[in-house]
C-alpha cells in the first residue's frame, strides 16, 4: 500500500518486489559453468533487475561445475561477497539461478541481507506487466507454486504474498510463524481455484481459436527474445498501436491483429518474449498464452540484429530451445533481424551471410517490412495446393469462402457455374472436393 492507502501496483501483483519508499541496491551473483567471460554472464540479470526497479551496484561470479548445494557460493567466495555488499552499500543480493529454499535461507543467514533468485525477479516483472484477467491469473498461479515450497510460516492471508521483509521490497516474505500448515492448505486451495479459472479461460480462447480456424485465415506468431522489438514490428505491419517500451517483458498478454498482403488476409500475434533459463513455473502457467505460438501456421523469429554476435546467437538458441520445449520446434519459421537501422552497410551484409531466407528489417523506420511480408507470403505459398473448381451460381457462400481462404482467385463465368482456379492450404482442400473438376486437384 502507498501512503494514501492505495495499492502501489496493479491488481494481480502479489509479489511485492518493488519498494515504493526506498531504492533497492543489489549485488548480482552467478555461478559460471565453464570458461568465465568476465561478468558478461550477469548482463541479463542486471537488465531484469533494472526492469524490476532495482539498481545493480555490484557483480560477482564464481567458476565451478555446479553451485554449492547448501550456500550456492563456496565459503571463501561468500566472504568476498560480504565485503562487496558492504563496499557498495547494497541491501539485496540477486542470484542468476533459481535457488533451493535451503540455499536461500543459508545465504541470507550468512550475508545478513535478503536474497532473491532469478525466478522471483521474473515473476515480479510478470506481475507488474500482466493486464488481462487471464494474465493476472497466470501470474498468481506461478507465484503461488513458486512460493509454496518456500513457505515457512510466512503468510497471514492470501491477499498478499509479502508484507514484512524489506518494507515491501524485492523478494518479500510476510510474518506469521505459527500457521504454516494452515497457510500451505490455503495456498493449495487457491492454486486449485486458479487452475479451474484458467481452464475456463482456455475454453474461451479455444472457442475464439476455433472461429479463426473455421475462417482459415493464416496465423503468424511473432516469437523472439524479450526486447527484440516484436511489439514495434507488430505495429509496423498492422498499425496496431500496441504499447512498446525499452524493458524486458514489456508485452505479456498476447495481442492479435490482422493485415493483408498479396490479396490475402493474415492474423499476426505478438507473444510474450522469451529469455534464457525461462522458469518452468512460467512455461506451465502461461501454457494458454504460449499456445498462440504452438498453434500458429508460421513463426516469425524476431532477433535484435544490433546486438553483438555472441549475445545475438545465444538469444537465438534460447528462443529455439523454448520453442522446442513448448512443442513448436517443427513449425515453419522466418527469421527477421530487427533494428538494422542501427547498423552500417557492412554489418547489415554480415548479418544475413549464410542465413538463407532471413530478412533484415527496421520496425522503427519501416525498412525491410515489405520484404518480410513477401517472405511470409512465400512461406505460406509452400503449403498451398492448386485447385480447379466449378462452383454453381447457387453456391455463393462457397465462392465467398474460397475468396477469403485463397486470396487471389482466377475465375471464368460459364453457363453452368463459375470456373475457379486458386491455391488453398492443403489441409482445406477437402472443403471444396465436391466442386473439383474431374474430382481432383488441378
Q: What's the rounded Cα separation, in Å, for the pair 218 and 130?
A: 27
Tens digit of each residue's pLDDT (9 = 90 or more) over 363-378: 999 999 999 999 999 9
Among 10-24, 98-112, 397-411, the range with the most confident prediction by mean pLDDT is: 98-112
Give the per-residue pLDDT at 271.
78
pLDDT higher than threshold 70 for residue 18:
no
pLDDT higher than threshold 90 for residue 139:
no
* CB-based burial, 27-56: b 16+ in 10 Å, e otherwise: bbbbbbeeeeeebebbebbbbbbebbbbeb
- Antiparallel, parallel or unpaired: β 24-32 and 92-95: parallel
- The answer to whether 368 and 340 have CB atoms below 8 angstroms apart is yes
Give the per-residue pLDDT at 34.
67
Backbone angles phi, psi at 298, to 5 degrees: -150, 140
- The rounded mean pLDDT for the chain is 80
What are the DSSP E strand ranges found in 118-231?
219-224
Does pTM surpass 0.85? no
Give the per-residue pLDDT at 287.
63
- Mean pLDDT, rounded, for 235-240: 86
Q: What's the rounded Cα separation, in Å, for the pair 145 and 273?
A: 21
What are the DSSP E strand ranges found in 83-141?
92-95, 115-117
Give the per-residue pLDDT at 330.
87
Within 10 angstroms of residue 404's Cβ, the number of other Cβ atoms is 13
Please give the torsion angle defined by the CA atoms of residues 311, 315, 321 and 326, in that order, rounded to the nearest 10 degrees.
170
What are the DSSP E strand ranges found in 155-272?
219-224, 255-261, 264-270
pLDDT higher than threshold 90 for residue 225:
no
Tens digit of each residue's pLDDT (9 = 90 or more) over 243-292: 555 545 545 566 788 899 987 888 898 877 777 777 766 666 566 567 67
DSSP code, position 439: G
pLDDT higher than threshold 60 for residue 95:
yes
pLDDT higher than threshold 70 for residue 59:
yes
- Mean pLDDT, rounded, for 348-362: 92
Tens digit of each residue's pLDDT (9 = 90 or more) over 102-133: 999 999 999 999 999 999 998 888 888 777 77
Structural domain spans, the chain? 217-381, 384-439
Q: Assign domain 384-439 to a CATH class.
A: alpha beta
Q: In what order do the strands lie in the sheet with 359-360?
A: 255-261, 264-270, 219-224, 298-304, 333-338, 359-360
pLDDT confidence tier of residue 165, bands split at 50, 70 and 90: very low
Give the per-residue pLDDT at 294.
80
Q: What's the rounded Cα separation, in Å, for the pair 280 and 381?
A: 36
Q: Assign domain 217-381 to a CATH class.
A: alpha beta
Amino acid at each position: 500500500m502507498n501512503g494514501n492507502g492505495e495499492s502501489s501496483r496493479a491488481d494481480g501483483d502479489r509479489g511485492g518486489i518493488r519498494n515504493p519508499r526506498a531504492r533497492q541496491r543489489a549485488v548480482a551473483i552467478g555461478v559460471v559453468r565453464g570458461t568465465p567471460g568476465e561478468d558478461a554472464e550477469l548482463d541479463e540479470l542486471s537488465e531484469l533487475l533494472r526492469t524490476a526497479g532495482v539498481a545493480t551496484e555490484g557483480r560477482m561470479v564464481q567458476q565451478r561445475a555446479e553451485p554449492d548445494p547448501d550456500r550456492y557460493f563456496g565459503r571463501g567466495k561468500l566472504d568476498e561477497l560480504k565485503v562487496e555488499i558492504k563496499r557498495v552499500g547494497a541491501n539485496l543480493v540477486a542470484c542468476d539461478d533459481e535457488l533451493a529454499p535451503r540455499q536461500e535461507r543459508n545465504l541470507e543467514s550468512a550475508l545478513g541481507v535478503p536474497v532473491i533468485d532469478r525466478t522471483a525477479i521474473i515473476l515480479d516483472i510478470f506481475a507488474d506487466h500482466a493486464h488481462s484477467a487471464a494474465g493476472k491469473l497466470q501470474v498468481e498461479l506461478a507465484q503461488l507454486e513458486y512460493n509454496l515450497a518456500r513457505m515457512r510460516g510466512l503468510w497471514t492471508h492470501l491477499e498478499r504474498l509479502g508484507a514484512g521483509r524489506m518494507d515491501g521490497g524485492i523478494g518479500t516474505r510476510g510474518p506469521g510463524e505459527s500457521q504454516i500448515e494452515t497457510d500451505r492448505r490455503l495456498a493449495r486451495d487457491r492454486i486449485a481455484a486458479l487452475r479451474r479459472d484458467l481452464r475456463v479461460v482456455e475454453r474461451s480462447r479455444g472457442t475464439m481459436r476455433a472461429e479463426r480456424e473455421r475462417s482459415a485465415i493464416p496465423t503468424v506468431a511473432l516469437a523472439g527474445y524479450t526486447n527484440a522489438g516484436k511489439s514495434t514490428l507488430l505495429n509496423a505491419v498492422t498499425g496496431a498501436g500496441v504499447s512498446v517500451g525499452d524493458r524486458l517483458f514489456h508485452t505479456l498478454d498476447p495481442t492479435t491483429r490482422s493485415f493483408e498482403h498479396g490479396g490475402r488476409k493474415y492474423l499476426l500475434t505478438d507473444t510474450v518474449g522469451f529469455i534464457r533459463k525461462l522458469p518452468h513455473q512460467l512455461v506451465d502457467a502461461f501454457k494458454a498464452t504460449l499456445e498462440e505460438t504452438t498453434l500458429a501456421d508460421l513463426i516469425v523469429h524476431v532477433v535484435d540484429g544490433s546486438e553483438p554476435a555472441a549475445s545475438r546467437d545465444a538469444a537465438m538458441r534460447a528462443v529455439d530451445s523454448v520453442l522446442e520445449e513448448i512443442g513448436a520446434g517443427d513449425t515453419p519459421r522466418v527469421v527477421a533481424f530487427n533494428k538494422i537501422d542501427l547498423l552500417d552497410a557492412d554489418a547489415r551484409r554480415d548479418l544475413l551471410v549464410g542465413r538463407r531466407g532471413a530478412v533484415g528489417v527496421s520496425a522503427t523506420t519501416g525498412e525491410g517490412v515489405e520484404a518480410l511480408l513477401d517472405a511470409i507470403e512465400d512461406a505460406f505459398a509452400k503449403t498451398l495446393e492448386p485447385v480447379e473448381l466449378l462452383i454453381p451460381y447457387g453456391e455463393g457462400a462457397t465462392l465467398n469462402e474460397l475468396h477469403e481462404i485463397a486470396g487471389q482467385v482466377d475465375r471464368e463465368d460459364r453457363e453452368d457455374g463459375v470456373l475457379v482456379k486458386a491455391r488453398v492450404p492443403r489441409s482445406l482442400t477437402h472443403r471444396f472436393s465436391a466442386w473439383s473438376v474431374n474430382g481432383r486437384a488441378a
